[in-house]
């Protein structure tokens, strides 16, 4: 599992990400744009360490520490796993019977056994993408 070894390591990474994102937001606001050229991004604080791997590590650490009651995650059907948006493992999935909703899309009830020790239930929106919304069992 790709996560931090100490809480301080997590705090340092979270600070770096927040500083980077704050610089990006200032740029977007000042230039009235949503796109930021790569050469500009490289001048932001912590640009050398902020990447998708770091974002994934932060998400996994927060999932394990905060034990959220509700969560949005992605499903890999081929190996029955729940992941972050960039593929970091969050838990194993048990699938229920697929059905069509009144909107015509395919959905499937799921149970997720999270790496944080909590069992979740929710809906896998099968035909809309590979995402699911889950809630912790009471």
Q: Could you give the number of structural domains in the chain?
A: 2
Domain region containing 89: 67-136
Degrees to nearest 5, angle at CA 87 with 26 and 90: 105
Is residue 2 included in any domain, yes or no?
Answer: no
CB < 8 Å & 24+ apart, contacts of 87-91? 87/56, 88/1, 88/2, 88/56, 88/57, 88/59, 88/60, 89/1, 89/60, 89/115, 90/60, 90/63, 90/114, 90/115, 91/115, 91/120
Domain shared by 83 and 113, yes or no:
yes
Final residue before a domain boundary, out of 65, 93, 108: 65
Mean pLDDT of 7-29: 94
Which pLDDT score is estimated for 129?
86
Mean pLDDT of 22-31: 93
Mean pLDDT of 23-29: 92
pTM, rounded to two decimals: 0.86
Distance CA 43, CA 45 (A): 7
Residue 1 has pLDDT above 80, yes or no: no
**pLDDT tens digits, one per residue of 71-113:** 999 999 999 999 999 999 999 999 999 999 998 899 999 999 9
**Average pLDDT for the chain:** 93
Domain shared by 73 and 17, yes or no:
no
Domain shared by 72 and 32, yes or no:
no
Question: Residue 94: CB partners within 8 Å, gap ≥ 6?
Answer: 80, 110, 111, 112, 113
Is residue 1 included in any domain, yes or no?
Answer: no
**pLDDT tens digits, one per residue of 42-64:** 899 999 999 999 999 999 999 99
* For the chain, percent of residues with pLDDT exceeding 90: 83
């Amino acid at each position: 599992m790709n996560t931090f070894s100490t809480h301080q390591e997590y705090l340092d990474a979270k600070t770096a990400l927040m500083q980077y994102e704050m610089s990006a937001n200032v740029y977007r606001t000042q230039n009235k744009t949503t796109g930021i050229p790569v050469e500009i991004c490289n001048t932001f604080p912590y640009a050398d360490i902020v990447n998708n791997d770091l974002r994934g590590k932060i998400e996994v650490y927060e999932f394990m520490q905060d034990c959220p009651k509700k969560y949005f995650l992605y499903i890999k059907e081929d190996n029955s796993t729940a992941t972050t948006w960039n593929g970091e493992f969050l838990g194993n999935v048990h699938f229920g019977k697929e059905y069509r909703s009144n909107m015509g899309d395919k959905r499937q009830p799921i149970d997720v056994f999270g790496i944080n020790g909590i069992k979740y239930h929710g809906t896998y929106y099968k035909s809309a993408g590979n995402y699911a919304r889950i809630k912790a069992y009471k």
